[in-house]
Structure 1
Amino acid sequence: MLLGLFFLFTLVPLLELYLLIRLGTYVGAVDTIAIVIGTGIAGGLLAKSQGLAVLDRMRAELNQGRLPAESLLDGLLILIAGAMLVTPGLLTDGLGLLLLIPWSRQAIKSWLKRKMQEKISEGEIHISTHLP
């Protein structure tokens, strides 16, 4: 866990900085800054529109008396995508865009569900329900 946090907060920003510097040498500093700002704005708008669509879908599912499990997972992934897209960097922008594209998000959701099922079957995750 500690190694994962180290990777997340140290190595990823260093890699992002390296990639931005490399891009800046090819296209120039002003263009690099424009790309970073543009992807942040475009990603934020796209995440907002997809997030609102997921909220509408959740409301519809709840009104029909169904649990919105798929929509909740979509919402979580869209939230993560939005955070990645407003974070300056090429790697985080690419990952954020992957999370916003519905077909790639579906593949990521399937992978996450498989991992959760493995953890549940191994006894690492316990689910309990308390009914009134």
Structure 2
Amino acid sequence: MLKWIIAAIIIVPAIEMWGIIKMGHIIGGWSTFGLILITGFAGAQLARSEGRKAFMDVQAQIQSGRPPGHAMLNGICVLIGGLLLLMPGFFTDIIGVTLLLPFTRPFYRLLMLRWLEKKLRNGSLTIRRR
């Protein structure tokens, strides 16, 4: 797991820098800078509204006595999508937007469910109480 985190810390910023430089050559430096700012602000607003909806869904399911599984996964998608949109760069913005949009979120939710199921079947998922 640690090697994946280290690889992500090195590879993701390198890809983002490459994308920013390429976009700067295509549309110009100031336009690229403006586009990065716009996607950051727009992403924050989208994450805020979708996060509010996800939180209300979790509350409604808990109050009705149902387990909030899908609603919690939606909330995790919104959280990760919002964080990705706040990072400067275009590739993380694309992934962040797809995590925030309600019609693409089921794809990520399915990936998370499969990952959780695999961890549960292997017995490698541990929950620690402090």
Is TM (by shorter chain) over 0.5? yes
Q: CA deviation at 1:2?
A: 2.8
- Write the letter of the residue equivalent to 1:55: F
Paired residue total: 128
1:49 is the counterpart of 2:49: yes
Moved over 3 A (4+): none
Indicate the residue corresponding to 1:24 in structure 2.
24
Identity of aligned residues (%): 31
Q: TM-score, normalised by structure 1?
A: 0.90
Q: For structure 2, list consecutive stretches of 5 or more residues without a partner in the other structure.
A: none
Q: How does 1:57-76 map to 2 (within 5 A)?
A: 57-76=57-76
Secondary structure in 2 matching 1:102: coil
Indicate the residue corresponding to 2:40 in structure 1.
40
Q: For structure 1, list consecutive stretches of 5 or more residues without a partner in the other structure.
A: none
1:111 is the counterpart of 2:116: no
User: What is the aligned-residue RMSD (CA, Å)?
Assistant: 1.5
Indicate the residue corresponding to 1:123 in structure 2.
123
Q: TM-score, normalised by structure 2?
A: 0.92
- Write the letter of the residue equivalent to 2:59: R
Give CA deviations for 1:51-96 in whole Å, capped at 9, x if unaligned: 0011111121111112211111111110110000010001110110
Indicate the residue corresponding to 1:99 in structure 2.
99
Q: CA deviation at 1:103?
A: 2.4
Indicate the residue corresponding to 1:89 in structure 2.
89
Structure number with larger C-alpha Rg: 1
